[in-house]
Amino acid sequence: MNDARRYHDLPSPFAMKRGGQLHAARVAYETWGQLDTDAGNAVLILTGLSPSAHAAANADDPSAGWWEGMVGPGKAIDTDRWFVICVNSLGSDKGSTCPASIDPATGEPYRLSFPELSLEDVAQAAHSVVTALGIGQLACLIGCSMGGMSALAYMLLHPGSVRTHISVDTAPQAQPFAIAIRSLQREAIRLDPQWQEGRYSDDAYPEMGMSIARKLGVITYRSAMEWNGRFARIRLNPEQRDDDPFGLEFEVESYLEGHARRFVHTFDPNSYLYLSRASDWFDVSEYGNGSIREGLKRIHVERAMVIGVSTDILFPLEQQEQIAEGLEAAGAQVDFVALDSPQGHDAFLVDIDNYSRAIGGFLSSLQA
């Protein structure tokens, strides 16, 4: 198999954790590199809330991917050695079945009739792709941000399916600060009159709500420390300002506006709501009688690397420590990497040097 962009049909019906089922559902995925004949060199990447399966350029799509610096020949996730798969989360509108998809039962988009989505469902859909590719055990499962929680679900639901694990900037459960932020993002979308209980169109689209949600996201994905150095109190030039009496004045405001404009129409608002809520719901402690540690102890991998960053306010470093301790208690050999990157939660997308060193070092140390 060459580098490719593909779709995988999920078993139909596909039963969802919280009830409900999907018919004729599919997930988009992309691959890089060659699968060994014994299928022992597979690496699966599970993504954050909004990225697509396009982690890096490939033959079907030569544009740069969201983790271009990390995935490729000779890079940390070396596609000369590994067969790398990235799956677009079930429920995301980047090719997978999601609230914007047509419900075959009605011929209309699901919108809010899409069944309640959990990260366990995201994990099950990804596992279905891996199984269909003939891979019995992943050499490594990598999960970033929300994808790190999906990865924990994957390992809990499929014991023995993962040999090693890399956990990146994630958490075993959402803490109330993260829930509060995501709840407010969802509220901004839901209160937008154009949202119309999920029945928006391209012509009447909840731009306002999506813009506020995205800006709040960016504020919590980065760090105050980074911004002190990057923006300080620099003003826009007068010609860059608008006439609005409360319009953009500081560079940091313009930066957020740029992020929001690029995002608003590239992610389906209902998909955002479903994946955001799934992130709030996920909780490893459900697998351990209310104990995070006991839940994590049910995960059995040979080795793990757990990476976090001290400037992350959304998934604070103490939560990565919990994951590392739990996986170690379960018997894994665990490397815990605490970085001081200034970029906050998004450091895994920006501080490629440090993340490459950690992830590349871990993967290259794995026995064939």
Contact between 316 and a copy of itself by CB under 8 A: the answer reads yes
Nearer to a copy of itself, 292 or 363 (CB): 292
Tell the smallest beta-carbon distance from residue 241 to a copy of itself (Å). Answer: 13
Residue 137: φ, ψ to 5°: -140, 130
Contact between 19 and a copy of itself by CB under 8 A: the answer reads no
Contact between 345 and a copy of itself by CB under 8 A: the answer reads no
Contact between 15 and a copy of itself by CB under 8 A: the answer reads no
Contact yes or no for 185/276 (Cβ under 8 A):
yes
State how far the Cα of 87 lies from the Cα of 130, in Å rounded to an integer.
9
Stretch that binds a copy of itself, among 16-24, 88-96, 228-236, 329-337 (CB under 8 A): 228-236
| Residues forming a β-bridge with 336 | 306
Contact between 246 and a copy of itself by CB under 8 A: the answer reads yes
Residue 167: φ, ψ to 5°: -105, 120
3-state secondary structure of 336: strand
Choice among 145, 211, 276, 341 that is catalytic: 145
312 labelled catalytic? yes
- Judging by beta carbons within 10 Å of its beta carbon (0-12, 13-18, 19+), is residue 232 exposed, middle or buried? exposed
169 labelled catalytic? no
Question: Binding mask 141-180 vs a copy of itself (x if CB under 8 A, - otherwise)?
Answer: --------------------------------xxxxx-xx
Contact yes or no for 42/138 (Cβ under 8 A):
yes
Contact yes or no for 155/165 (Cβ under 8 A):
yes
Contact yes or no for 18/118 (Cβ under 8 A):
yes
Tell the smallest beta-carbon distance from residue 216 to a copy of itself (Å). Answer: 6
Residue-wise DSSP of 55-104: -S-BTTB-S--TTTTTEETTSSEETTT-EEEEEPPTT-TTTS--TTSEET
| Stretch 85-124 residues interacting with a copy of itself (CB under 8 A) | 112
Of 15, 64, 224, 338, the residue at the interface with a copy of itself (CB under 8 A) is 224
Q: What stretches of the chain adopt beta strand conformation (E)?
A: 4-9, 14-15, 21-22, 26-32, 42-46, 71-72, 77-78, 83-87, 102-103, 108-109, 138-144, 162-168, 303-309, 333-339
- Torsion from C-alpha of 81, 345, 327, 147, nearest 10 degrees: -60
Of 273, 304, 306, 324, the residue at the interface with a copy of itself (CB under 8 A) is 273
State how far the Cα of 329 lies from the Cα of 334, in Å rounded to an integer.
10
3-state secondary structure of 38: coil
Contact between 181 and a copy of itself by CB under 8 A: the answer reads yes
Choice among 93, 192, 283, 312 that is catalytic: 312
- Judging by beta carbons within 10 Å of its beta carbon (0-12, 13-18, 19+), is residue 132 exposed, middle or buried? middle
Of 100, 103, 231, 366, the residue at the interface with a copy of itself (CB under 8 A) is 231
Contact between 208 and a copy of itself by CB under 8 A: the answer reads yes
Contact between 241 and a copy of itself by CB under 8 A: the answer reads no
Contact between 187 and a copy of itself by CB under 8 A: the answer reads yes
Nearer to a copy of itself, 132 or 208 (CB): 208
Of 68, 103, 253, 325, the residue at the interface with a copy of itself (CB under 8 A) is 253
Stretch that binds a copy of itself, among 63-71, 142-150, 244-252, 355-363 (CB under 8 A): 244-252
279 labelled catalytic? no
Q: Which residues are catalytic?
A: 145, 312, 345
Residues near a copy of itself (CB under 8 A) are 112, 173-177, 179-181, 183-184, 186-188, 190-191, 193, 208, 211-212, 215-216, 219, 224, 227-228, 230-233, 244-246, 249-253, 256, 273, 277, 280, 283, 313, 316
